[in-house]
Amino acid sequence: MTLLQWKPAYSLAIPAVDLEHREMIGLINECYERMGSDADTAAIERFLGEIHAGIAAHFALEEQLMLRSNYPEYGAHKEDHEDLLDQIRDFMDRFDEDREAGLRLLQQRLADWFGRHFATFDARLHDRIHT
């Protein structure tokens, strides 16, 4: 069961960034699959911790890139990253309390977030910065 699908429109034509974005989509899909299966909660929680760390590392890399280039939209872009990291933490708490509710939250909010962020903030960033 796939939650998020890579689209050609997400491509920023920077292979290293595209690869990381694909990996993030892959992790979210894997998480969604595990949550729907009867995998135990502790294992899923560990996996969520890894996702959070992986995504935080990707964001840090983009933020460094923006700082180095004096990118004017740095503040708003970073804020959107922080919003997602908050959402992942909310999602981890929700999942702890109620697995079904956690699954719905992942379906509704996180999937939307990725599509929107890739197509807006990241697209604008990589339009200006060519690495």
Q: Kindly list the residues in this chain that would bind Fe ion in the complex (CB under 5 A).
A: 62, 121-122
50 or 98, CB closer to Fe ion? 50
Residue 80 Cβ vs Fe ion, minimum distance, rounded to whole Å: 7
Among all residues, whose Cβ is closest to Fe ion? 122
Residue from 43, 17, 34, 56 nearest 106 by CA: 34
d(CA 33, CA 61): 28
d(CA 114, CA 130): 21
41 or 131, CB closer to Fe ion? 131
95 or 122, CB closer to Fe ion? 122
Residue 110 Cβ vs Fe ion, minimum distance, rounded to whole Å: 14
Residue 59 Cβ vs Fe ion, minimum distance, rounded to whole Å: 6
Residue 121 Cβ vs Fe ion, minimum distance, rounded to whole Å: 5
4 or 62, CB closer to Fe ion? 62
Residue from 48, 32, 124, 39 nearest 93 by CA: 48
